[in-house]
Amino acid sequence: MYNAEEMRLIQKEDNISFYRKIRISLGLMGIIPFLSAVYFFMQRDQISPTLIILCSALVLFSILMGYTLLRRSSDQVQTLAQKTAMATKSGDIPQPLDINVEGELKDIATNFNTVVERLNRANRDIQSRSFQLQEFASDLSESYEHLERENRLRNQLCRYVGKDLVEKLMVSRDGQLLKNERKDVTIMFADIRSFTAISEHMEPEDVVAMLNEYFSVMIDILFKYNGMLDKFVGDQIMAVFGHMSNEKSGARSAVRAALEMQKATAELMKERGRQGQPTFSIGIGINTGSAILASVGSENRKDYTVIGDTVNTAARLESHAAGQEIVIGERTSIHLPKKLPRGTRQELKMKNRSEPLSCYTLIPKGDKVVKIVKRPGKTSVKIIPSVQAAC
pLDDT above 70 (res 26):
no
Whether pLDDT at 376 is above 60: no
Mean pLDDT, residues 95-121 taken together: 73
Q: Are strands 302-307 and 282-297 parallel, antiparallel or unpaired?
A: antiparallel
* pLDDT level of residue 340 (50, 70, 90 thresholds): low
Determine the pLDDT at residue 260: 93
Report pLDDT digits (tens) over 65-93.
766 766 777 666 777 677 676 666 665 66
pLDDT in tens, 88-102: 666 566 666 666 666
CA distances from 369 to 5, 82, 327, 387, 388 (A): 99, 101, 12, 6, 9
Q: Which residue has the higher pLDDT, 111 or 87?
A: 111
Contacts of 17 (CB under 8 A, 6+ apart): 102, 103, 104
Answer yes or no: is pLDDT of 384 > 70.
Answer: no
Q: How confident is the model at residue 128 (pLDDT cuts 50, 70, 90)?
A: confident
For the whole prediction, is pTM greater than 0.75?
Answer: no
Work out the percent of the chain whose per-residue pLDDT is above 90: 27
Instruction: State the average pLDDT for the chain.
Output: 77
- What mean pLDDT comes out for the span 7-12? 46
Least confident residue range of 113-122, 149-158, 321-330, 331-340: 149-158
56-65 confidence digits (pLDDT tens): 777 777 777 7
- Average pLDDT, stretch 131-146? 87
Checking if the pLDDT of 343 tops 60, the result is no
Query: What pLDDT does 108 receive?
Result: 73
- Residues 22, 105: contact at Cβ < 8 Å? no
Instruction: Choose between 228 and 102: higher pLDDT.
Output: 228
- Using alpha carbons, select from 366, 363, 356, 367 the residue that is nearest to residue 382: 363
CA distance 304 to 293: 7
> Residue 131 pLDDT more than 80?
yes
Of 63 and 18, which is predicted with more confidence? Answer: 63
Band (2; pLDDT cuts 50, 70, 90): very low
pLDDT for 9: 45
**What is the Cα–Cα distance from 256 to 241, expressed in whole angstroms?**
11
Least confident of 162-171, 178-187, 222-231: 162-171
What is the rounded end-to-end Cα distance, in angstroms, of the chain? Answer: 95
pLDDT for 355: 81
Helix (H) or strand (E) holding 268: helix 247-274
Listed by start position, the domains of the chain span: 4-123, 177-390
Its sign, for the CA torsion 129, 135, 139, 141, is positive
Rounded CA gap, 361 and 383, in Å?
12
Helix (H, G, I), strand (E, B) or coil at 364: strand
Looking at 3.40.50.1100, 3.40.50.2300, 3.20.20.70, 3.30.70.1230, the CATH number of the domain 177-390 comes to: 3.30.70.1230
Residues 85, 90, 94, 95: is their CA dihedral positive or negative?
negative
